[in-house]
Structure 1
Amino acid sequence: MGDSTKQGLGSSGLSRRGFIAGTSSILGVAALGGRAGAAVRTAVPATAPIGDGARVPALVIGTGYGGSVAALRLAQAGVNVHMVEMGMAWDTPGPDGKIFANTTNPDARSYWLRTKTKQPLSNFLGFPIDRSIPRHTGILDAEEFSGITVYQGRGVGGGSLVNGGMAVTPKRENFAAILPSVNADEMYGTYYPRANAALGVATIDPAWFDTADCYQYARVGRKHAQRSGFPFVFVPTVYDWDYMKREAAGTVPKSALAGEILYGNNHGKKSLQKTYLAQIRATGKVTISPLHRVTSVSPAAGGGYTVAIDQLDTSGATTATKTVTADRVFFAAGSVGTSKLLVKLKATGALPGLNGEIGKGWGDNGNVMCGRANHLWDPTGSLQASIPTGGIDNWAAGGAFAEVAPLPTGIETYASFYLSITKNPHRAEFSWNAAAGRADLNWQASWKQPSIDMAKTIFDKINKKEGTIYRTDLFGTYKIWGDHLTYHPLGGAVLNKATDNYGRLHGHPGLYVIDGALIPGNTSVNPFVSITALAERNIEKIIATDL
């Protein structure tokens, strides 16, 4: 972004062209309700490339929610753990003195091995807004499959680096449909509280919400929801609310109030780097290898598992190939990463004992986005906190829960923006494409229609009541619904199907799945608290019975 544009964003006389450039990556920022990062002053665990030929008691593939829970509890039980992470450590400031890229100006740090950004909102006022960037192992992966783009975090901390921090525990009455084989009393009595405490979950002060300039957009969303008869609910988050109040007062560097979220958050958000990973460091028993990618896992002759790993540089090139042995392996590469790896290992015969459920039960958590054009008497505010903290609950009647999300462009847009989570029934399957050497997903774009229909149960009614219309310029030319993506990939190695009821993979003792791949496609809300709580439940059982 040129100097003139930067000046324009800070002035009142902003040109249309300057506005388009300035909004090039904020749009859709709030949609990341389940995965975003914090510029960590807290050191993460020791990072060191794992040695070729090493033997480790426990290898954890991935450093997101499930992997961090497993590593912490194993370490606290006295087990030495090595974590392998495909992305970077995100512990070193860039040329601008910040660890994470500014949301309004994506650079090499922003995307995983892309030469052009692929933003959730691709257009604004008729202009495409994606831009060229240097190819680099950046923080946000927009992974493209047939019919859908899946947004994922890349780095130590996984999805927590790039989500909106909305930390939602599902309603108890919905839980049986989410994880039917899991005891709800145990989850709501023990594991959800444990996860929420460890993640630092808190709810906004309602009195501050009612007066803060930065949540005018959410108050407009609340007013419109309630006038149409929908419940508006405050949603807990993992943001440091005291820090945000100080941001608003101008006494600390701005973070949420600078629109930071899509490519990491430099201050206030409590990503895993500040919670589980900080606790992991205190154990002294865990080492992490960033920029390492697991390519194979197979039974070792002398017991345990042989794990093949590529070491990467920041261009994505392989600089070394290593073979290590692990007594136990925990798959925590995220729903997509774990599923892709397991279908490969089954199909190629590396893990022949895996059952026919591997790769099945994958869903998008019913994600769909839309924007509404409000009247001039309903401004949503030029200053918008990037952390959403309110939602519209029509799950029971219409199958939709909608985040009231920000559009932190720095100027007034008179627009309300939403990410909906819906009760979409469709489930896809990963399969191994031997000819192409990759895992494919059979999702169909048309499968998003139920999500649109469910979201319309909220927004058609609001538009009718308010006399407003949908925005048609955010996802392409005259396209209303953002039905091409998900931020909440779930499933692919479903609990009690591909695994036993605690994540043990069938056919291969000592192999475990402990991430969102266990959850069959939908959580009714943002999923990371459920992923964390389920991991807490499973690792407690595994430590008690398997170690």
Structure 2
Amino acid sequence: MSDSVMHDKGSKGVSRRRFIAGTSSILGAVALAGHPTAAQAKAAAAAAPIDPGAHVPVLVIGTGYGGSVAALRLAQAGIDVHMIEMGMAWDTPGSDGKIFCNTTSPDYRSYWLRTKTKQPISNFLGFPIDKNTPRHTGILDAEEMGGIIVYQGRGVGGGSLVNGGMAVTPRRENFGAVLPSVNADEMYGTYYPRANAGLGVSTIDPAWFDTVDCYQYARVGRKHAQRSGFPFIFVPDVYDWDYMKQEAAGTVPKSAVAGEILYGNNHGKKSLQQTYIAQAKATGKVTISPLHKVTSVAPAAGGGYTVVIDQINTNGDTTTTKTVTADKVFFAAGSVGTSKLLVKLKATGALPNLNSETGKGWGDNGNVMCGRANHLWDPTGKVQSGIPCSGIDNWAAGGAFAEVAPLPTGIETYASFYLSITKNPNRAQFSWNAAAGKVDLNWQTAWKQASIDMAKTIFDKINAKEGTIYRTDLFGTYKIWGDHLTYHPLGGAVLNKATDNYGRLHGHPGLYVIDGSLIPGNTSVNPFVTITALAERNIEKIIATDL
């Protein structure tokens, strides 16, 4: 948004009215009531989705981290793979010439089949900022279930489309609590390096960080953390830092520096579309069906599995139901998608031999959010990169790792914002609700109190040292903590419990889980590097022994 919208020309300050108007528009109050272009419709029609009655050697359900790793490595081993993706391909620009809409102006591309945005920050200065948008198969799903909102990416590339790209490998000493049945030497010697290379992980240039305006918010976060005695660390990311330097210099179209994060990134971010999926497609052995949703997997009479798939349109309506067969099926629909599907298939008798661990061990990675109101001498900057690059590590002492997060409003807010990952011990279970014909999750919002207490070990101390207070206007009226959501769903088909130690589902040979549902609820940091590394480990074993 241009300065002229935010400020009266020539004025030194911002009126309260303009401040609210400007901020709410950035955080999502301006909904562009746009609709798909003819080019988008044509591209969707030109895609070659899976044929009814098709037989495929391997079907992968989902195109996120685990599914993309599996598809690439299987293809490299000479095996034909078909991937099924519920969301869109995200390869065709809209009428504004961009594939993704901006955080500041959510339109039909923003949310998955909602008629109103459901933003993580729902209020500002006492005003609700969610706005109406056209119902569409948008990129971000805010799925409400069991006392929690689970944010998930919808489209080819899954969560990689909508996350901040923070590519964190857990500290070695914490790994035993994350995946106790997995050899840490192998993970840190082979699979974490392989995942980081495949994802294109790198770290910000510290000298550039120290000077550029778009990371003033993170420098304020560093100063406050260090003055309270907390370790401040730079966190690797999958963003192209050279591109961001050019953005900041004004020589290329702005993406992160324009605050793009929630609803996709148009330029510098190395999502799975640019890494694993691009490599997989280049083999010529991987095809993808977007806007397809698997509803059933059951043993086929002649061996392998019968898979029922609904093809949907951009309104979410089923247009065709297809039945195909696959020799092997990989569940990679994400922690929630895979868990819900497996629980339903076990309960309804399609996959009766799945064991009693199916649906258990689900957690939120201890996510909780908060904001702090800084003094006027600690401005955080009106230009903020949407890509976070740093964190505060109090995991050992207080059970919390806090990402220093952007609040890209386009105006000065004097606010520091954080997403904390905590050692929350609570785990939920998915179960089949026969009466409603759906899967329920028994998570309780009250369970987030453990996360709040752990996050407070950082922020109470910083507030006391700095003489600052928590923001109370971001998550409702007089509500300090964003305790209603998670960006990091994990578990539900836990490794070495619901599956064997490599993701093979018990009781049904040829069925595998290869996504975040294998990880029991917590990774101590942002989870996608661990999901990717575990998938690299598991698929290597499966190719060597099962194929």
TM-score calculated relative to the size of structure 2? 0.95
Residue in 2 aligned with 1:432?
432
Residue in 2 aligned with 1:201?
201
Answer whether contact 1:332 1:515 (CA < 8 A) is retained. Answer: yes
Residues in 2 aligned to 1:131 and 1:229: alpha-carbon distance in whole angstroms? 41
- Cα distance, 1:423–1:248 mapped onto 2, change above 3 Å: same
Answer whether contact 1:87 1:155 (CA < 8 A) is retained. Answer: yes
Residue in 2 aligned with 1:492?
492
Answer whether contact 1:22 1:104 (CA < 8 A) is retained. Answer: no
- Code of the residue aligned with 2:72 in structure 1: it is L
1:10 Cα deviation after fit: 7.1
Residues in 2 aligned to 1:209 and 1:21: alpha-carbon distance in whole angstroms? 30
Residue in 2 aligned with 1:36?
none
- Cα distance, 1:327–1:15 mapped onto 2, change above 3 Å: farther
Residues in 2 aligned to 1:442 and 1:19: alpha-carbon distance in whole angstroms? 40
CA offset digits 1:130-163 (Å, max 9, x no partner): 0000000000000001210000000000000000
SS at match of 2:210: helix
Residue in 2 aligned with 1:342?
342
Residues in 1 aligned to 2:256 and 2:435: alpha-carbon distance in whole angstroms? 45
- Cα distance, 1:204–1:25 mapped onto 2, change above 3 Å: farther
Answer whether contact 1:22 1:105 (CA < 8 A) is retained. Answer: no
With 106-115 and 9-18 compared, the bigger mean Cα shift is at 9-18
Pick one of 8, 19, 38 that aligns with 2:5.
8
SS at match of 2:92: coil
1:19 Cα deviation after fit: 4.0
Would you say 1:444 and 2:441 are equivalent positions?
no
SS at match of 2:298: strand
- Does 1 or 2 have the higher relative contact order (CA < 8 Å, sep 6+)? 1
1:446 Cα deviation after fit: 0.3
SS at match of 1:244: helix
- Cα distance, 1:222–1:6 mapped onto 2, change above 3 Å: closer
CA offset digits 1:331-382 (Å, max 9, x no partner): 0000000000000000000001100000000000000000000000111111
SS at match of 2:257: helix
CA offset digits 1:285-328 (Å, max 9, x no partner): 00000000000000000000000000000000000000000000
- Code of the residue aligned with 1:270 in structure 2: it is K
CA offset digits 1:222-279 (Å, max 9, x no partner): 0000000000000000000000000011000000010001000000000001100110
Residues in 1 aligned to 2:127 and 2:500: alpha-carbon distance in whole angstroms? 50
SS at match of 2:273: helix
Gapped regions of structure 1 (runs ≥ 5): 29-42
Gapped regions of structure 2 (runs ≥ 5): 29-42
CA offset digits 1:399-428 (Å, max 9, x no partner): 000001111111111000000000000000
Answer whether contact 1:25 1:106 (CA < 8 A) is retained. Answer: no
Answer whether contact 1:60 1:67 (CA < 8 A) is retained. Answer: yes
1:103 Cα deviation after fit: 1.2
1:364-443 residue pairs with structure 2 within 5 A? 364-443=364-443
1:201-280 residue pairs with structure 2 within 5 A? 201-280=201-280
1:20 Cα deviation after fit: 3.5
1:16 Cα deviation after fit: 4.0
Answer whether contact 1:225 1:392 (CA < 8 A) is retained. Answer: yes
Q: Could you tell me the percent identity over the aligned residues?
A: 86
Answer whether contact 1:25 1:103 (CA < 8 A) is retained. Answer: no
Residues in 1 aligned to 2:47 and 2:18: alpha-carbon distance in whole angstroms? 41
- Cα distance, 1:11–1:233 mapped onto 2, change above 3 Å: farther
Residue in 1 aligned with 2:81?
81
- Cα distance, 1:20–1:127 mapped onto 2, change above 3 Å: same
- Code of the residue aligned with 2:333 in structure 1: it is A
Answer whether contact 1:26 1:262 (CA < 8 A) is retained. Answer: no
- Code of the residue aligned with 1:159 in structure 2: it is G
1:291-310 residue pairs with structure 2 within 5 A? 291-310=291-310
Would you say 1:93 and 2:90 are equivalent positions?
no
Answer whether contact 1:291 1:313 (CA < 8 A) is retained. Answer: yes
Residues in 2 aligned to 1:124 and 1:528: alpha-carbon distance in whole angstroms? 30
Residue in 2 aligned with 1:168?
168
CA offset digits 1:186-241 (Å, max 9, x no partner): 00000000000010000000000011111111000000000000000000000000
1:529 Cα deviation after fit: 0.2
Residues in 2 aligned to 1:334 and 1:531: alpha-carbon distance in whole angstroms? 10
SS at match of 1:218: helix
Answer whether contact 2:362 2:489 (CA < 8 A) is retained. Answer: yes
SS at match of 2:369: strand
Residues in 1 aligned to 2:130 and 2:188: alpha-carbon distance in whole angstroms? 43
1:26 Cα deviation after fit: 5.1
1:86-165 residue pairs with structure 2 within 5 A? 86-165=86-165
CA offset digits 1:50-77 (Å, max 9, x no partner): 1100000000000000000000000000
1:282 Cα deviation after fit: 1.0
Answer whether contact 1:429 1:441 (CA < 8 A) is retained. Answer: yes
Residues in 1 aligned to 2:371 and 2:127: alpha-carbon distance in whole angstroms? 16
Residue in 1 aligned with 2:536?
536
- Cα distance, 1:97–1:300 mapped onto 2, change above 3 Å: same
Residues in 2 aligned to 1:328 and 1:109: alpha-carbon distance in whole angstroms? 33
- Code of the residue aligned with 1:413 in structure 2: it is T
Residue in 2 aligned with 1:458?
458
1:502-541 residue pairs with structure 2 within 5 A? 502-541=502-541
Residues in 1 aligned to 2:198 and 2:7: alpha-carbon distance in whole angstroms? 38
Residue in 1 aligned with 2:69?
69
Residues in 1 aligned to 2:78 and 2:379: alpha-carbon distance in whole angstroms? 56
Residue in 1 aligned with 2:363?
363
1:23 Cα deviation after fit: 3.3
